[in-house]
A and B are shown apart, each in its own frame.
Chain A
């Protein structure tokens, strides 16, 4: 099946620094990628949808200047958490969808655990 990777799998950073998380589709081209955030014992919350070559669409309540998303190629999307603070500590998960149809399946990465000290 289709494989999506994330890097790093975990990261610890100091408050005020920026952290970049990569999401790659390894064996297919992803026209659309999604970024989710998951708090302990809570569901995945969609943060934003990114389409290759265009600006990301953010969900209500998500700060676009804090969570910068770049989908520069059909196999790579990045999420940059700028000026991270302890409340940004979470599990970030990306997914990728091949093709333009909204009925195409999303394939998920294994997630990145961010801890901000």
Chain B
């Protein structure tokens, strides 16, 4: 079945450091890929998405590129801020499944001054 694997956390970075959170997936067909972010005490929010190979999703300085050849969708940000501290979830939605989302386990990011 479909699955998403993302790096275990927590990831601790200093402010202005470069961030990479790895995400790989297994799915049949051509899934859509997502990154969600969950701030403390809040619900998951869609951060960015990509619906086909080589698409790049971007939002709030975060980027991820849909790489079909490596089945990856790594999240990157050039300079993190303390306010980016949150849990990040990689997810996919397989074609033809009416938006059923399959999530990774989440990666906690802690950014310090």
- Contact call A110/B99, Cβ cutoff below 8 A: no
Query: Cβ of B98 < 8 Å from any Cβ of A?
Result: yes
- Contact present for A110 and B41 (CB under 8 Å): yes
Decide: A49 near B100, CB < 8 A? Known: A41-B105, A43-B106: yes
Interface residues on chain A, number (Cβ under 8 Å): 23
Chain B, 93-105, contact with A by CB distance < 8 Å: what is the 0/1 string?
A: 1000111111111
A108 in complex: contacting residue of B4, B45, B102, CB < 8 Å: B45
* Other contacts beyond A46-B100, A106-B101: 4, CB < 8 A: A43-B102, A97-B99, A102-B97, A102-B98
Q: Using Cβ atoms and an 8 Å threshold, which residues of chain B touch A46?
A: 100-102
**In the assembled complex, how far is the CB of residue B93 from the closest CB belonging to chain A, in whole angstroms?**
8
Asked if B43 contacts A43 (CB within 8 A), the reply is no
Given contacts A93-B44, A109-B43, A110-B41, contact A43 B100 (CB under 8 A): no
The residue that B99 contacts in the complex, of A44, A104, A109, with Cβ under 8 A, is A104
Contacts of A106 in B (CB 8 A): 46, 99, 101
Say whether A107 faces chain B, with CB atoms less than 8 Å apart: yes
Q: Does residue A42 face the partner (Cβ distance < 8 Å to B)? A: yes
| Complex-state Cα separation, A108 to B89, whole angstroms | 13
Contacts of B45 in A (CB 8 A): 1, 108
